[in-house]
Amino acid sequence: MNEVDILNNAIHNLEKDIPLTWDWKMLDYNKDTGIDGELNIVINNQQTVLLVEVKRDVKNHQLFNIINYKNKFNNFLLVAEKLYPKVKKELRENQVNYLEGNGNVYINKDGLFLYIDTNKTDKPQKDKGNRAFTKTGLKVLFQFLLDPQLINQTQRDIAEITNVALGNIPLIINGLLETNLILKLNKNEYVINNYEEFLNKWITEFEQTLKPNIFKQRFRFQNNNQEWRNIHFNYEKTVWGGEPAGDIITNHLRPEKFTIYTKETNKELMLNYRLLPDNEGDIWVYDMFWTNNMNTNTAPEQLVYTDLMITNDKRCKETAKLIFNEYIQPNI
């Protein structure tokens, strides 16, 4: 469903529970505001005007932006085809009005209070057979995020750079075309349609599909008083991700959970960096799934941003936005 279909479906389902009249008007807002249109609803002769963003669904890492929209627009309403219970709970806790496709609603605005959470939600359809969002596909997509021009190199070059079998590349590109994440300009040239949407889609799929698959082991520092910044990694093989990388990039975050991406074995990590395996340790180690050509001890900013956004920590999300605004947004 497109945005108008999602809105119409949500309003019609709401009408089954609450008598109302309504009017929808598309607004010529700048796309960066997050506003799609204006919804005018009348209930019991009381008129309420709401500025609306329509989304298919909302994942945890998108809540930070949604809450910012609410703070920017006093009469903000989120309309989504599907909202997960934890997401709805956090929206209510932050006084964000929302309307779900099945008619579930939370609106608390100017004396109007609506709250319904009893309508069942249809299970969302997944991208069946779309090779772009497999574990292999997500590795290729990450390289496109790092270098959007890579998509216009030969398929053999893409396969070599991403260390993926050549036969996967056309299937992955077709998957991106099917979801409108990339556009075909001519026979041999493609372009990312909307970089931020591409990144958000990758974040969602990375959290659900790739990250659990590349997890290696939890560790702890051999010395409890270890100053983590004094650990000297072999940058080609091992880098910081998550909170420590966020602190290195922004100097804004005191790490509590340590993330490492590596191509080294557990034995090498123990010998080279004095890490000890510990199922309760505060170091999470993952396989490095990209070729690291940068002379830095942190993962690429896009991955650090991702790690921080998929946490439930406000500090991390604030740091993620600093990284996005300073290192990612200027290059879009």
Last residue of a domain, one of 116, 145, 170: 116
Task: Say whether pLDDT at 144 is over 70.
Answer: yes
What does the pLDDT look like over 239-255, one tens digit per residue? 999 999 999 999 999 99
For residues 316-327, give the mean pLDDT: 95
Task: Say whether pLDDT at 262 is over 60.
Answer: yes
What does the pLDDT look like over 158-185, one tens digit per residue? 999 999 999 999 999 999 999 999 999 9
Do 187 and 221 reside in the same domain of the chain?
no
CA 137: distance to chain centroid?
16
pTM for this model (two decimals): 0.77
Q: Which amino acid is at 130?
A: N
User: How many beta carbons lie within 10 A of that of residue 223, not counting itself?
Assistant: 9
Q: Helix 314-323 vs helix 301-309: angle between axes, to the nearest 10 degrees? A: 150
Quick check: is 21 in a domain?
A: yes
Among 23-32, 185-194, 300-309, the minimum mean pLDDT is found in 23-32
Quick check: is 301 in a domain?
A: yes
Do 59 and 28 reside in the same domain of the chain?
yes
For residue 291, what pLDDT band results from cuts at 50, 70 and 90? confident
Task: Report how far residue 273's alpha carbon sits from residue 20's, in angstroms, rounded to the nearest whole number.
Answer: 64
For residues 151-157, give the mean pLDDT: 96
What does the pLDDT look like over 29-54, one tens digit per residue? 545 566 888 999 999 999 999 999 99
Task: Report how far residue 129's alpha carbon sits from residue 256's, in angstroms, rounded to the nearest whole number.
Answer: 38
Most confident of 7-11, 187-191, 213-217: 213-217
Domain count, the chain: 3
In the chain, % of residues over pLDDT 90: 77
Task: Report how far residue 75's alpha carbon sits from residue 102's, in angstroms, rounded to the nearest whole number.
Answer: 22
What does the pLDDT look like over 87-123, one tens digit per residue? 999 999 999 999 999 999 999 998 899 999 998 875 5
Domain of residue 142, CATH code: 1.10.10
Domain residues for the domain of 40 are 3-116
Cβ atoms 153, 171 nearer than 8 A: no
What is the chain's mean pLDDT, rounded? 92
pLDDT at 36: 87
